[in-house]
Each structure stands twice: as structure tokens, then as C-alpha cells.
Amino acid sequence: MAERKPVFVMDEDVERTKGKDAQSNNIEAAKAVGETIKTTLGPSGMDKMLVNSTGNVIVTNDGSTILGEMDIDHPAAKMIVEVSETQDEEVGDGTTTAVLLTSKLLSKAEDMLDQDIHPTIIAEGYREAEEKSMEILDEMKQDITIADDKEILRNVAKTAMTGKGVIGDKDILAKTAVDAVTYVTKETEDGYNAKLDNIKMETKTGANISDTQLIEGMVIDKDKPHPEMPDKIENTKIAVLDTEIEVGETETDAEVTIDSPGQRQKFLEREEKQLKEKVEKINETGANVVFCEEAIDDVAQQYLVNKGIHALKRVDESDINKIAKATGASVVSNINELTEDDLGEAETVREEALAGDKVTYIEGCKELKALTVLLRGGTEQLVEEAERTLDDAIDVVATAINDGDTIAGGGAPEAELSLKLRDYAATIGGREQIAIEAFADALESIPLTLAENAGLDPMDTLVNLKKQHEEDNQNAGIDGYEEKITDMTEKGVLEPIKIKKQAMKSATEATEMVLRIDDVLSSKTTE
Ligand code: ADP
């Protein structure tokens, strides 16, 4: 018989970790990520200073920003980072909570693995606990209707801004977020629908955050390129172009030899004719305003003036798209193809001075009820930070409005869930009971960490908090500022219920995924 040759299915450079080693290695990585961001949780959470390889410094308290900036390369840790990204994309907040929960669920799973409980049983128990938690959270929720609950929404915005740097300006930013989101909210058959696309944010330094204003319509930070263009146009027909009004490239690229003044004159005349034709084409469609993403030739500007057409050149791409959406215009790339049907409409387009600069207002847009938030601040850094904070608050307020339900914060839901899940676990029995109880333990890490970060004794506080919940105070939570346990709804610490639900769902999913891995194969990176 021929001698059997060994079969190699993998490159010898592939590193392999199997079974318990693989599991515990992954769990350690997840725990390390949890430990890193733990101190940032809640109103008294600390900030992190992140310095990248080019020396750029970011000071932040935001879980997903921190993890996004860290150069994480452990595969399981990367999965946890994805949890925070999903959380941020889906609901705009709760990233630290989601990551901390994942890390605790895995750490508790490690204890169960040591007791020889199979990962599948753990995963099933966790899933069951998560499903039960959704029911319990629904029992705790408070419905809101935006028409008369602006106060609640402002509290939701403030809770979302907790721990962020702009502490002194929370009230004004919360009011701005709520006024802006409610302005672009429509009531539909299926409930409320906040359309955040309709909100445009402009930032300007040179004033205080308290000077921030909401402007109905759109504000474009641009002024007209030619002084003789009109300052105000009513009943506008707007052409939106993502191209330039210049002499076409092919014409300028072509080699032309000019050897007499007459030829030069002819050449210039030809160029002017082309520009004139482009403006004629725009004029024929009936447009009296042109927003152009690229340049507009000086000669073309003069032709536009002659036709009484107002124009803006080099408008940002994002603004071009927003203008098109709001006014109902189509963005056109080839002027020769521009037709009347492509034009958008707005009641007025006017130029006015704003904070020392000339800007353009587009009001009464045909398609969308657009709104501009003009965010002010003393310095560039301050305005940028306020913008990030306001952006988050706007997302969270929209989540609350679209979803319609809020829930108390400050660790109240986690404490209540853990109490009720333990009762539930007792009715299940067996090994799954252990997993459901472990889930309840993991949830307690949220109030524990909030207490720890507030400088309270974590264990004592948790014991007192549990006692309150046993006495049916389901909204009892940790007041991070006054260092005591109190009713969070009375304190106005409210969050959209969706943030809690999403955090628990993604934490459970990621945990399950990590638990199911018992073999890690990784190619060694070659130099
Ligand atoms: P996340 O990224 O998870 O949102 P945060 O650092 O923003 O992390 O902290 C959120 C936690 O802090 C939530 O549990 C929330 O209920 C709680 N929290 C927010 N504001 C307060 C407050 N004023 N008092 C007590 N807890 C608060």
C-alpha cells in the first residue's frame, strides 16, 4: 500500500486557539474593553483624553467615540466596538451602557463556563432573560405626546447630554433640540414622525451658546458673487446644479494658437458666446435663482445679472442636496439638459447680514418645512463640542418622539429588571435559571457603576436601591449629582425606552456571538 501523506488544510502560519482557551481569551478582551470605558458612565463619569498618532487630541466622554478612536485589534474586542457603533446608529445614545453590559454578561458567562455549563445553555438563558426584560420595560414605560410634553422631551434631551462638557448650557441646548425636532415632526397615521433631514446646522463663533437661534427655512453660509444681483427674490424658481457655469473643459484644453489680435478677439468672443448660451438656457427654463456647486465665470455672472437671476457659487455638496430636497428641485449636472421640471420653488431667497457675515436665506420651501439651527459659541472648539452634543440630543429626542415612550434613567430600569428577572428565573429552574440570574447580576453593574462614579459606596448603594425596588418604587435610581437614591421621573431623568431596549438587545446578541466561538484561527500578519 502506498504511504499516506499528511494533509495540510491550513497555512502553517495560521495561529489557532481552541476550546476553553479561545473562549477565555475572547472574554478577557471584552472585559478589558468594559473596564476601559466604565469610568465614563453617567453624570459623574470622567472624560478620556485620546491622542492619535498625529498628535491630535480629543477629550470625550462618549463611549462610541472612545472605542472608535482606540486602535483595538483583538477580534472579540472589535465585535464589542461594533455593539457601540450599532447602538449609536440606531438610537444615538446608550453606547457605554451597551458595551458595559456586554462585558458583564461575558464575565458572568465565564463563571458559568467554569461550572461546566454549556455555552448554548448560557446563550439560551440570556436570550430568555432579554425577552422577559422587554416585557418588564414595557410595564415601566411612560407614554408621551409631543404636543403637550415638551417639558418631558427637554428632560430626555438633558439626560442624553449628561456628562458632556457643555454643562452650563444644557438648558438652552435641550430647548433648542426639542424646538427643532418638534418643528420638523409630522403626525401620521402610525404616530409621530420626526424628519431630521429637514434640520440644517450652521455654526458661527463670536457669540455665546445662549445666542443660538432657530431660523425657519434654510440658511446657506454664502453670499452672492456679483454685487448687482438682487438682494431678494420672491416666488422663486430654483435651478440646482452640481456643475459649474464656466467655459467647458474640452474647449479650454484644446490647443489654440493665436497669432494675431483679431484671432484672440474671436477666441474670446467664442468663449463669451458659450457662457451666454448657458445662461440663456437657464433663463429659458424660467429659473430666477441658481445654486451652483462649482464656480461661476465672471462673464456668466454678468449675463445672470442682465437676466435678473440671483446665484450662489461653490455651495457645499451637502447644502446642494438639502436645497434640492427642500425646494423640490432635481440636481442637474448638464445645463443643456436643464428643464422647467427640474426647478424647485421657495417663497423667498434673500441675502442678509448674520453675525457679521452675509448669508442667504431660503424661506417657504415648497417640499419640506426646513429649519436651520444657528449654533453660536465663543471659540471654534466650543461650538464644535456644542454641535456634537446638540446632534446627540436631537437624535435622542427624535427617538423618543418616533417611539413615543420614555423610561426613568439613573439605573432604575436595571435595578427593577434585575429584581423581576430573579423572580422569573425561579419559575424556570434548572441550568437556565442560573443564566437568567447571571443576566440579572450583569444588569446591576449599571447602577453599581453609576454609584461608584458618583463617589458613593457601590455595594451599600446597591443594597439600598434594591430595597427601594422591593418596596415597589420602580423608578428609584441613583442621583449622580446629589449622591442619593431618589425617584428618577420626579428628577426628570428620562430616556427613550428604545435606548434601553436596544442596548440590551445588542449586548445579548454580541455576548451570544462571542460565546459560540470555540476556535479562533488567525493568519499571522506578514511584514
Ligand atoms: P451612555 O453612553 O450609555 O448613554 P452615559 O455616560 O451617557 O452613557 O450615561 C448614561 C447613564 O447615566 C444612564 O443610565 C442614564 O440614565 C444615567 N443618567 C443620565 N443623567 C443622569 C442624572 N442626572 N442622574 C442620574 N443618572 C443619570
Q: What is the pLDDT of residues 417-456, one digit of tens each?
A: 999 999 999 999 888 999 999 999 999 999 999 999 999 9
Q: 190 vs 464, which has greater pLDDT?
A: 464
Per-residue pLDDT averaged across 287-312, rounded? 94
Percent of the chain with pLDDT over 70: 94
Q: 312, 292 in Cβ contact below 8 A?
A: yes
Per-residue pLDDT averaged across 27-39, rounded? 89
C-beta of 93 in contact with ligand 1 (< 6 A) = yes
Residue nearest to atom 4 of ligand 1 (CA): 94
- Amino acid (1-letter code) at residue 127: R
Residue 486: pLDDT over 90: yes
* Whole-number pLDDT of residue 404: 82
Dmax (CA) of the chain: 100
Q: 441 vs 520, which has greater pLDDT?
A: 441
163 CA closest ligand 1 atom index: 6
Residue nearest to atom 10 of ligand 1 (CA): 42
> Within the chain, how many helices (H) and strands (E) appear?
17, 21
C-beta of 63 in contact with ligand 1 (< 6 A) = yes
Residue 238: pLDDT over 90: yes
Per-residue pLDDT averaged across 285-307, rounded? 94
120-154 confidence digits (pLDDT tens):
999 999 999 999 999 999 999 876 666 558 888 99
Rounded to the nearest whole angstrom, what is the distance from the C-alpha of residue 414 to the centroid of ligand 1?
12
Q: How confident is the model at residue 527 (pLDDT cuts 50, 70, 90)?
A: very low
* Whole-number pLDDT of residue 167: 62
Query: Rounded CA gap, 160 and 399, in Å?
Result: 11
Query: Rounded CA gap, 135 and 342, in Å?
Result: 50
239-253 confidence digits (pLDDT tens):
999 999 988 755 555
**Average pLDDT value over all residues in the chain:** 88
Supply 87's cell numbers.
447602538
Residue 475: pLDDT over 50: yes
Q: What beta strand segments (E) does 282-402 contain?
A: 289-292, 310-312, 331-332, 344-354, 357-365, 371-377
- C-beta neighbour count of 393 within 10 angstroms: 29
| Sequential DSSP letters for 434-497 | HHHHHHHHHHHHHHHHHHHHTTS-HHHHHHHHHHHHHTT-TTEEEETTTTEEEEHHHHT-EEEH
C-beta of 162 in contact with ligand 1 (< 6 A) = yes
* Whole-number pLDDT of residue 101: 96
Burial 399-432 (b: 16+ CB within 10 A, else e): bbbbbbbbbbbbbbbbbbbbbbbeebbeebeebb
Residue 192: pLDDT over 90: no
Compute CA distances 343 → 246, 275, 291, 349, 351, whole Å: 20, 20, 11, 14, 20
Domains of the chain: 15-143+408-523 (1.10.560.10), 145-215+369-403 (3.30.260.10), 218-368 (3.50.7.10)
Q: 92 vs 233, which has greater pLDDT?
A: 233
Rounded to the nearest whole angstrom, what is the distance from the C-alpha of residue 295 to the centroid of ligand 1?
47
Q: Which of 91, 154, 159 is the best mutation target for the ligand 1 pocket, counting ligand atoms within 8 Å of the beta carbon and taking the most?
A: 159
* Whole-number pLDDT of residue 186: 85
* Whole-number pLDDT of residue 10: 65
Residue 36: pLDDT over 60: yes
**Helix, coil or strand: residue 115:** coil
Enumerate the active-site residues: 62, 95-96, 392
Give the gyration radius of the chain's Cα atoms.
Answer: 30
Residue nearest to atom 20 of ligand 1 (CA): 159
392-410 confidence digits (pLDDT tens):
899 999 999 888 889 999 9
Q: 179, 157 in Cβ contact below 8 A?
A: no
Compute CA distances 376 → 115, 194, 250, 420, whole Å: 58, 24, 44, 46
- Residue 392: beta bridge partners? none
Per-residue pLDDT averaged across 310-334, rounded? 93
408 CA closest ligand 1 atom index: 16
Compute CA distances 245 → 40, 240, 276, 411, whole Å: 51, 12, 10, 59
* Whole-number pLDDT of residue 354: 80
Supply 135's cell numbers.
416585557
Per-residue pLDDT averaged across 286-302, rounded? 94
C-beta of 395 in contact with ligand 1 (< 6 A) = no
